[in-house]
Structure formats: C-alpha cells, structure tokens
Chains A and B, each alone.
Chain A
Amino acid sequence: MAYTFTRRVALAVAASAALVASTATTALAEGWKPQKPVEMVIMAGQGGGADRLARLFQSIIQKEGLSNMPILPINKGGGSGAEALRYLKDKEGDAHVVMATLNSYYTTPLRTDIGVDIEEYTPIARMALDTFVLWVNADSDIYTIEDYVAAVQAAGGEWKMGGTGTGAEDSLVTAMLEKEFGIKHTYVPFKGGGTVAKNLVGGHIDSTVNNPSEQMGFYQAGKSRPIVAFTPDRIEAFPNVPTARELGHDLVYWMQRSFVAPKDMPAEAVAYYTDMFQQLSQTEEWQTYTKEKALMADFLTGDDLQAYFLEERAKHDAILKDMEGGSS
C-alpha cells in the first residue's frame, strides 16, 4: 500500500515536472503567461453596475479563451472601494491580480486617508467611459432642462434626487448641476444604480443621474425620460437628447471603467494583460454591449492611461473641495 502510494506520488511529480517543462518551453516561445488563476478584484459589491460589467468581462474572456487560466472575480466593495485599494497595495509585485476600477479609484483616497497612492499602481487598460444622463419619470411634465430647473426651484429644496451615496459619481454630477443652475436638491442615497432607477419609476424620487445602462430597460418601456446628457456629443442611443454643452452649460462627466494592477507587476505580465484586454475590446460581444448600453468604448493603455488617471484625480480633488465648501 505504502509502496503504490509512493509510486503514485512519484508519477504525479514526474507528470507535473513534464507539465512545467512544457509550459516553460511555450512560455519561451510565446512570452509570459499566467501560471495560476488570475484574481479580478472588483471595487464594488455584488450585483451593482460595476460588478455586472466586470463579470461580463470575465465571461467574455472565458468564452473567447483570451486567457489560458481562469479569471476569478472577487468583490471587495467595503469602504467605497477602500478595501480593494488596500488589498491591491498588499499585492505588490504579484503577477496574478488585476483590479476593475470606477471613479472611486480616485475619490476614495481623496476623501479618506487610507494610505494608498494610486500613482504607484500599474495601469493596464481603460475599457470604456460610461456616460451620465439626467432622468425623470415619464409621467412628469418635464421635457427640457429649463422645465427641470423651474420645477426644482418651485419645490424649494424638497426636490428628491436619488443617487448611490454622498461622494459617489452621481452626487458629484448633482453638485455640478446645483452649482451651474443655482438650485438645491434633497439628495436621497440608495444602495445601487438599479435601485435608484426603480425608485424613480415607482415615483418615490423625482429625478436621477443614472448611467444609461441602468435606465435602458425602463426607457424602452416608456417609463422614464432622459432630459439632458452630460457628454461632449450626443449619445448614439439617444439621438434626440441634447447635451448640456450644446445648451450652453459646460457640464461633462464620465465614469471610467478600467483595469489596473499592483505596483511593480513584472513587465511581461503587464504586456500579457494589456494584450488580453486589447483583444477583449475587439470582440463582437463587447462592441454590441457598448453600443446597446451607450458606453463610449475608448481604449487607452500604458503611460497615456496613467496620465489620464492623474489628471482625473486632480479634477476630482477640485470638485470634492468645491462640494465641501458648498455644504459648510
């Protein structure tokens, strides 16, 4: 018994040695490849917009065989992404972890001191820029931004704007609206963009600044109405919705959907993941998805991406300081 067991172990060792040898040769031939499953850290909880998108990426990678190793999504949504940022900091030099980001990538370290400097992380790829639109219930009499401003003013500060939490992206857009038009909302936070959308259609709040993907279903069913888009150009999916800019109000805000890696990830690994996401951005599934959900598929990598992150961080710093000044 003991003998057979040892022999089996020996066989197994030999087999795995052969496997390692063969991977080593292919690695030489084709460059670096992941040696074990790759963690995909998500800066948000399960079920939200960011989570859904990250899982879509994972399934496309799996389906199209873009990675030789499985991708494991892990939600670390605590502290508006603080949990994820800290986790990535501890993974310094690790070649098997990437993180899906949203704008809390900059705002969270700006708002609370969690000992993280995003400049240290390795940028991989920006997959898309998500857009924001001002929405009202389809039963309301509001059709234009003028109607909206008049209605909010008439409500005398009791106008209910739904969102996903103070400091979240939609609260920044709300603050920008308030500053631009000199209006005041009552900001009601909910747990996720989907819940916000539902509460608008159910008549529990008066307006939202949802991403189009969160309102699309209701919009198609004729239950919610887009008023104005916070994009430089009109969104393809809503050709009749004007942008704030063309109405003479310079309000543009994006949600970036990117991937970053820990500090000092080996260069070959960075090249591998950059290539993987590049291939992903060209798949048919992704192209269709971005079109249907009104995302701007704006691919960016490397130093350009890092420059973008730093520029955005500076912008958000200014917006946040403005908000604090306004509320006090």
Chain B
Amino acid sequence: METIALLADGFATSLSPINLMIVILGVTAGLFIGAMPGLGSVNGVAIVLPLTFIVPPSSAIILLAAIYYGAMYGGAVSSVLLGIPGASTAVATTFDGRPMAQQGKAGLALIAAAVASFVGGTISVILFTAFAAPLADLALAFGPAEEFALVLMAFTTFVGLGGDDKLKTIVMICLGLVLSTVGLDLISGQPRLVFGDLPGFYAGISFLVLAIGVYGIGEVLYTIESSRTSPQVTPAKITLSELKAGFRAMNRLWKTMSFGSFMGFFVGMLPAAGATPASLMAYGMARQSSKEPETFGKGNIEGVAAPETANNAASTGSLLPMLTLGIPGSPTTALLLGGMVMWGLVPGPMLFIEQPDFVWGLISSLYTANLAAVLINIALIPLFVWALRMPFTVLCAIVMVLCIVGGFAPSQKMHDVWLIAGFGVAGYLLRKAEYPLAPLVLALVLGPLMEKSFRQTLIAEQGNVLAFVERPLSGTFIALAVLFFALPFIKYLRKSARQKVAPAE
C-alpha cells in the first residue's frame, strides 16, 4: 500500500508538463543515438550528463532515463534494417531481424521489436516497483559460483539445439572462447595471445567489433556475391493492415515475451552481467523452447521478440543494484551513478529511505519513458522502412561506412577497424561454409564472465570443483544446464520411439 502511495507521488513529479516534455525529447534523442551503430545508451547518457546540472536532479534523472530507454528501443532499428547491431545490446536482434528484413518483413520485425521492448520494459518496471528490496538481497546471494552456473546454462541452450549442425555449433563456441581469452588475464595480470606485443590486443577483443565485422561487413560481402549481376532491392513497405497484422502476430508471443522479461530483469540485476548477455540468453531460451527451432536465424519473429524484451527488461534490472547497492550493472548505469554522486545523492542501501522523492520519481518516469518510447518508435517505423528502399548499391556503401565508424567510435583505435575488416572476411567465409555465427558472438560475450567466475570459485574453494553443485543456487542452475543439454536427445529418442509404435503415420 505504501508502495502505491509513494509511486503516486512519483507520478505527480514525472507527469508535470516540463518533465513530460523532457521525456519526449529524451526518448527521441535516445532512439536516434541507439539506432546509430557505435553509439549506444552509454554515449547518449555521457553526452547529456553535463547538461543535467542546470535542471533539478529529479528532472535530470528523468532525462537520462528517457535517453537510456530510447536507446534501448533504437538499437533494434539498425539491427533489423542494416544487419549491424545499433548497440551491443541489440546483437541478438540481428539474428532474426535481418533475415526478416531481407524477406520484405522489415516493418513487421520493427513492430515486433517495439512491442517486445514495451512489454519487457513494463513487466520489469512492475517487478522493480514491487520487489526492489527483496531482489537486492537476491543480487547479493550471487557469488562467482552462481555466475558460472548461470553462464553455463546459457551455453547449453545454444549447444543443445536442433536446426544447426551441432558439431559446427560447438566448433564456433570454442572459437569464440579462444577469442575471449585475448588480452590481460584478470587473475595474474599477464597479457595473453597479444600476437607478439600488439598493444591493441591488451584490452581484449570487444564482441561489438566481432558482431559488426561478421554481421555488418560479412553480410554486405555475402549479399554482393549472391546478387552479383542484379543488385536486389529489398521490397519493403508498410501499410496500416500490416501494422495490424503485426500486433496480431505479437499476441501469440505472450509466452516468449513474459519469459524474456523475467529472464532479462533477473540477469540484468546481476552486477556482472547486464543487458547483452541477457538478450543472448533469452534468444537461446526462446529457440530451445520453440516447437520449430530450425526456423530461428532465418527470420522467426520470436527471435526478434525474445532478445528485445530481455534487453529492455535488463536495462531496468541493472538500475536495481545501482540504486540499492551502489554497484552499477552496466557501463551506462555506472555513468548514472557518477551523475547521482554529483547531485549529492548517495546510492546504496540508504537511498530508498533518505531520498524517496528521487527514487520514486525515477521509477515513475520509467513508466512514462517506456510508453513514450513505444509510441514514438511505432510512429517512426514508416520512416525507417522507407530508408530501406534505397538501391542496394547505395545502401551497401552506407553500411560499410557505418560499420567502420561504429567500430571506431567506442574505443577510438584503428586497431579495432582492422579487426572489423578481418572479422568481416572471416564471417563471410564462415557463412559460405554454413557455420552458425550466433554461438561465436555468444561465446565471446559470455566467455570472459565464465572464465573469471570459474577461476574465482576455484581459488576461493581451494580447487574444490564440487563447490558448484554444493551451493543451492548454483546447483539448481547446473541441473537446469544438464537438462537443457539433454533435452534435444530426449526429444529425439521420444520421436523415434513414437515412429516405431506407429510406422503407418
């Protein structure tokens, strides 16, 4: 009851005309920042942060939240239209979003992304409102062993899949894991696999660089080859009836979306994880639980909805440890934390008690920002789709430029641009040889987290491997991981058993 009263006070702040205007401005700016490859919510928030010192903290945080949410929506736009992830959190959206656009269903994919983002955002904000305090304790219960078990579970959802060649999937996961070991070792501080002494490798290989390379450049190379004589223009249009069909299609995805929301919120809440692993895990889960997993990666709308619900839910989730524990769950929340310190607010367990106006103003602004973002996004979809009607010869040059800029911008190192070019060629060859690329990206995202938590646990437990199954939380995740790994085999056995019983069928 108290929560509702506090939330109502919060809405009184966030619904004032000036704050509503701030939300709309912030969301629109965020959408475009998110849609630009290389610029994500981190950049958006970083650019605007100094401006917020001229307005009161409650309005400032609303502006930042609006940009944060807008960027989460925007990331999907270039993933779908160009096949380049607009932000790291939208990597998984390219897996099915891009094939949908190639089949002329760009509008549908964008609607799916927008609606899914809205659902993910809304469910997670409700979870946040209702359970902020107990969930903070859950985040604390997560130690290295639990992190490892959770990541292991994510991997098994990708290995144990129908559709793609299993051996090739495992090969790609191993390749991704090898790439993830490049750079300075966390435990000993020694450089590993730095190719002699190339300083660029010290910071490791960013998965965004890999994703832009294999999906952006690789895709362009592949399209050039497959349409050698007559460059094919993607037939993309959007009509009102298509919009309606899109919403109807989303109606069937309730299960995927609610699952993605819970999963995203939960993973986002863990300080070490964040929205990118969350979206990849949700994608894997959706594929695992689907009746037709072989259609994933070839333009399945569920493959767009799952990661988009999860990344928005995770972006709300990562605010939770930031506000309740003072530990940011993502680079963007780290910036928000910096801002809060500057406004004289101390994030941590006391914030909810000492600054209720600020906290509840923020939470209520998440509701309004979410609503504004979905409306503005859907209104802009015809514009985005129209951009796809450019001739391919023009579009492919634009994509190339965006890939290079997108790879250079975050680190500002030419090293990453060369890597993108290399990964682009490699991605093209792998695609021709029909190797799945998603497990490669997944392994590079989760590899460092997995290795780190594995070694931390072994150090802390004096090398006792059983520690992973002895702890209740991590034991549960390990059991689930084994189950997910075995599931396709069980399915296969049941299917063949059934065929023996009814051979006439």
Q: Which residues of A contact B (CB under 8 A)?
A: 46-47, 51-52, 55-56, 58-60, 62-63, 70, 74, 77-80, 82-83, 86, 111, 158, 160, 165-167, 186-191, 194-195, 197-199, 201-205, 216-218, 220-221, 223, 285, 288-289, 292
Report the stretch among B180-188, B216-224, B434-442, B495-503 that lies at the interface.
B180-188
Interchain CA distance A223-B324 in the complex, whole Å: 13
A217 adjacent to B347 (CB under 8 Å): yes
Q: With A79-B191, A186-B459, A204-B143 known to touch, is A194 a contact of B327 (CB < 8 Å)?
A: yes
Known: A191-B272, A195-B272, A216-B346. 15 other contacts (CB 8 A): A59-B53, A59-B339, A59-B342, A70-B50, A79-B191, A83-B199, A83-B203, A166-B187, A167-B189, A189-B186, A204-B145, A218-B326, A218-B348, A220-B348, A220-B349
Q: With A59-B50, A80-B189 known to touch, is A160 a contact of B460 (CB < 8 Å)?
A: yes
- Identity of the chain B residue whose Cβ is nearest the Cβ of A158 in the assembled complex: B462
* B472 at the A interface (CB under 8 A): no
Q: With A59-B53, A79-B202 known to touch, is A221 a contact of B349 (CB < 8 Å)?
A: yes
Q: Which residues of B contact A (CB under 8 A)?
A: 42, 49-50, 53, 139-145, 183-184, 186-189, 191, 199, 202-203, 271-272, 321, 325-328, 331, 334-335, 337-339, 341-342, 344, 346-350, 412, 452, 456, 459-460, 462
A56 adjacent to B341 (CB under 8 Å): yes
Contact of A78 among B143, B188, B199, B460 (CB under 8 A): B199
Enumerate chain B residues within 8 angstroms of A197, measured Cβ to Cβ.
327
A199 adjacent to B326 (CB under 8 Å): no
Enumerate chain B residues within 8 angstroms of A47, measured Cβ to Cβ.
328, 331, 334, 337
Interchain CA distance A56-B339 in the complex, whole Å: 8
B184 adjacent to A79 (CB under 8 Å): yes
A221 adjacent to B350 (CB under 8 Å): yes
B412 adjacent to A223 (CB under 8 Å): no
B203 to chain A, nearest CB (A): 4
Interchain CA distance A220-B350 in the complex, whole Å: 7
A62 adjacent to B50 (CB under 8 Å): yes
- Identity of the chain B residue whose Cβ is nearest the Cβ of A190 in the assembled complex: B456
A169 to chain B, nearest CB (A): 13
A59 adjacent to B327 (CB under 8 Å): no
B460 adjacent to A223 (CB under 8 Å): no
B328 adjacent to A216 (CB under 8 Å): no
Q: With A80-B184, A195-B271 known to touch, is A55 a contact of B349 (CB < 8 Å)?
A: no
Interchain CA distance A202-B473 in the complex, whole Å: 13
Q: With A55-B338, A78-B199, A221-B350 known to touch, is A202 a contact of B456 (CB < 8 Å)?
A: no
Q: With A198-B327, A204-B144 known to touch, is A217 a contact of B271 (CB < 8 Å)?
A: no
Interchain CA distance A111-B190 in the complex, whole Å: 10
A221 to chain B, nearest CB (A): 3
B327 adjacent to A62 (CB under 8 Å): no
Contact of B342 among A56, A77, A292 (CB under 8 A): A56
A45 to chain B, nearest CB (A): 9
A166 adjacent to B50 (CB under 8 Å): no
